[in-house]
Structure 1
Amino acid sequence: MAVSRSLRRTSPISIILAAMLAIGFFLFIFDPMAPPPVTAQQRQDDAATHPLSPPTKPFLKNQAQRADGYQAPPPVVHYSLNDLTSSEAAAEHGERILILTPMSRFYQGYWDNLEKLSYPHELISLGFILPKTKEGNAATTALQEAVAKTQSGPIDARFASVSILRQDFEPPILSQEEHERHKMENQKLRRESMSRARNSLLFTTLGPSTSWVLWLDADIIETPPTLLEDLTSHDKAVIVPNCFQRYFNEDTQMMDVRPYDFNSWQDSDVALNLAEKMEPDQILLEGYADMATYRSLMAYMAEGLEGSDPHNEVQLDGVGGTALLVKAEVHRDGAMFPAFPFYHLVETEGFAKMARRLGYTCWGLPDYYVYHYNE
């Protein structure tokens, strides 16, 4: 027959241990010397001394040693990527966004627009990669000055971290003039080089706490301040807005807009047939009369600036990289920017094909606009 709990004999040792734990608990709670709660800003500052959280911050080794010279090893850190979210309420859930920019020239308009983004800056990390050329050196100097000014300014305006990389390979085209960059004969080498730069930047800066990656070109000088909130609200694995350019229209003698990025498209039978007849190392290019693909270009799907629906979505087979938002899990699953012909596509268009092969769908917003610098 079972003995009731009240009649069981309680060990004196158990009573003593329970009393000691209770006393210790009350001393801990009411100790006037107990440290204050850790603030979000303190956690952000402390992360810089941590080797992995996020890895884009410098790990400052603790130089304190015992008298015998022993120094404690770095901590072992556990991450659960199953707990990492990338949702339509990104800011509310505290989801971290990594903005990555390959840069050969520094435009102050780009940086000013970046500072105006309304998404909490403490959740934004920045990453840049620049070539080791004369122009790249000048851009690096200007970028470092802008970073130093922002990161020493008001705390709310500071970004969580900033990483600046220099390319370890020579760019195939030294001139960054727009007419030179877009020559058809320069495209294969240029875009393969851009792919290598993007991949170097991505693989170096993507950390275990990153939920989203925004690829933002260095010559995008105007976006809505709510760019990040707007794009993440669609909760798509890959999504890209329409990139336009402001210019002075000589015919109307007024400022006007025109499409700029033609790399966001829906495929056509003509383009697929062209690809089938190509040699393995040849690539399809968009926007050139010598290679008519008859794809449906998102640049021409825009209904107009007046009365259009910026939330209108269309499925895409190819995407441009001017302002490309990607869920970090897509990159973690292996989608990168092929620096080789992948189904006869490279760089961002090759990335879209790779993402689709991994089971993701790419989307575009024809009536949501970002603006490219007009040279």
Structure 2
Amino acid sequence: MALFRRANPATFILAILLIAGFGYFLFSNPDAPSQSSLRGLHKAAANALSPPSLPFRKASPPNGANVAAAAPPVVHYYLNNLTTTTDPVTNRETVLILTPLARFYQGYWDNLAALSYPHDLISLGFVIPKGRDGNAANSALQEQIQKVQQGPHKKRFASITVLRQDIENPLQSQSEHERHKLENQKERRAAMAKARNSLLFTTMGPTTSWVLWLDSDIVESPHSLIQDLAAHDKPIITANCYQRYFDKDKNAMSTRAYDYNNWVDSPTAQELAKKMGPDDVLFEGYGSMATYRSLMAYMVGKDGNMDPNREVELDGVGGTALLVKAEVHRDGAMFPPFSFYHLIETEGFAKMARRLGWKSYGLPNYFVYHFNE
């Protein structure tokens, strides 16, 4: 007792403060967001089911208490009232832009940000592979997302979803040369199909009218891309993908065809398919597998017609700049990662959509441009 009488009162105060701090450290919930961190979450959904277009952040109960979660809401969506018209801006139709992102190109992002379609009607979705290249692409993408979403409201997108795959890309190199080797096509395209399906099924909500598939290496397109494609009122429609390059023979910039997956089928290709095994796949653009299909890439200016609105019906499509009415995907048209009538991925998607009653179209004289490696 004498020891306590001789102690300085300041010692007791210090001891009480230390005990209080130690108790806070032990019993506070490190996962509970601070009040300041909640200020930016006013656009988060209150429940995982409502609304599905907004991010949902699961909160931990305070101090580990067993607090019953609020009952999920009942939300009614009248999909018959969802429109896909030739004037999507006036009718406030929402567009979901989906991109498998193995590499990040600044030109792609700048082109995306420059689209004239109202950004508050656009949601973005990305799927990024595992691995070093995927990590680099993710870092660059996150930097750009932060800039645009914290910038002027008019330039912000309605929502952005980024998925990371739990498997690595089947190809060690993502160079253009390696990606397009014939022996790599089945494995590469199957992985791409799985990535597309995962992205689609995760991000498409009941308010989505259109889905625009836009490849990450498309660095130039008309700013009115969405309006231009939607104006044709087709269930599936694609632009013609070309590439700008320096022509050494002409000593000047020129263009060349890039996407050969937009085609009209041929009797030769159909005969080749009949001789194939059930798991074999026909690929376009390879001399050792000559199909003699009519490629949209070579229909530019056919019969002197350079009208950018000229349409052709297609049997196969690529995914470089592909606009799809969301109801086509809702009907079950997806990207087969297996041999589907000897087709796979985007070309298999066109075949599956056709089996469901949806036709595909292309615009031979309407261009988007691929990055030139």
* TM-score between both structures, scaled by the size of structure 2: 0.85
The 3 A distance-change label for structure 1 pair 173 and 69 is closer
1:322 to 311, 316, 320: 320
**SS of alignment partner, residue 164 of structure 1:** strand
Cα gap change, 1:126 to 1:294, in 2 (>3 Å): same
Which consecutive segments of 4 or more residues in structure 1 shift more than 6 A? 62-65
Aligned partner of 1:93 in structure 2 is 91
Aligned match of 1:358:
356
- 1:184 corresponds to which residue? 182
Letter in 2 for 1:186: N
For residue 372 of structure 1, the aligned residue among 365, 370, 373 is 370
Q: Which residue among 48, 52, 55 is the counterpart of 1:58?
A: 55
Out of 223, 226, 233, the residue aligned to residue 225 of structure 1 is 223
2: CA distance, partners of 1:217 / 1:261: 11
Residue 298 (structure 1) aligned to one of 290, 296, 299: 296
| Unmatched tracts of structure 1, length 5 or more | 1-43
Q: 2:141 pairs with 140, 143, 146, which one?
A: 143
1:107-165 superposed Cα distances (whole Å, 9 cap, x missing partner):
00000001100000000000000111100000000000000100000000000000000
1:240 aligned partner, one-letter code: T
Pick one of 191, 210, 213 that aligns with 1:212: 210
Tell me what 1:40 maps to. Answer: none
CA RMSD of aligned residues (A): 2.1
CA contact (8 A) 1:53 1:208 kept: no
Q: Does 1:310 align with 2:305?
A: no
| Alignment match, 1:105 | 103
Q: Can you give the 5+ residue segments of structure 2 that lack an aligned partner in the other structure? A: 1-40
SS of equivalent residue, structure 1 residue 167 = strand
CA distance in 1, matches of 2:318, 2:269: 17
Residues 43, 54 of structure 2: 8 Å contact kept: no
Q: Where does 1:269-284 land on structure 2 (aligned, <5 Å)? A: 269-284=267-282
Look up the match of 2:17: none
Which deviations, in whole Å up to 9, do the C-alpha atoms of 1:59-91 show, x marking residues without a partner? 2468899xx966532321111111111111111
User: Is the contact made by 1:49 and 1:58 (CA closer than 8 Å) also made in structure 2?
Assistant: no
Which amino acid is the alignment partner of residue 51 of structure 1? A
* Residues paired across the two proteins, number: 330
Alignment-derived partner of residue 343 in structure 1: 341
User: 2: distance between equivalents of 1:324 and 1:261?
Assistant: 12
For the Cα contact (< 8 Å) 1:54–1:208, is it kept in 2?
no
Task: Name the aligned partner's letter for residue 293 of structure 1.
Answer: T
Distance 1:365 1:80 in 2: 32
Structure 2 letter corresponding to 1:55: P
SS in 2 for 1:131: strand
Change (3 A) 1:295 1:168: same
Q: Distance in 1 between matches of 2:58 and 2:167?
A: 30
Counterparts of 1:216 and 1:167 in 2: how far apart (Å)? 18
- Which of 76, 79, 84 matches 2:77? 79
DSSP 3-state at the match of 1:186:
helix
**Pairing 1:126–2:151 present:** no
SS at 1:73 equivalent: coil
C-alpha separation between the residues in 2 aligned to 1:266 and 1:89?
28
- In structure 2, give the amino acid aligned to 1:330: V
Specify whether residues 307 and 253 from structure 1 end up closer, same or farther in structure 2 by C-alpha distance, changes over 3 A only: farther
Residues in 1 aligned to 2:190 and 2:329: alpha-carbon distance in whole angstroms: 18
Paired position in structure 1 for 2:234: 236
Distance across 1 between alignment mates of 2:75 and 2:339: 38
Cα offset for 1:102?
0.2
- 1-side partners of 2:192 and 2:317: how far apart? 15
**Structure 2: which amino acid aligns with 1:85?**
T
Contact 2:124 2:157 in 1 (8 A): yes
Q: In 2, Cα distance between the equivalents of 1:303 and 1:48?
A: 50
- The Cα shift of 1:55 comes to 2.4
Could you tell me how far apart the structure 2 residues matched to 1:295 and 1:328 are?
Answer: 28
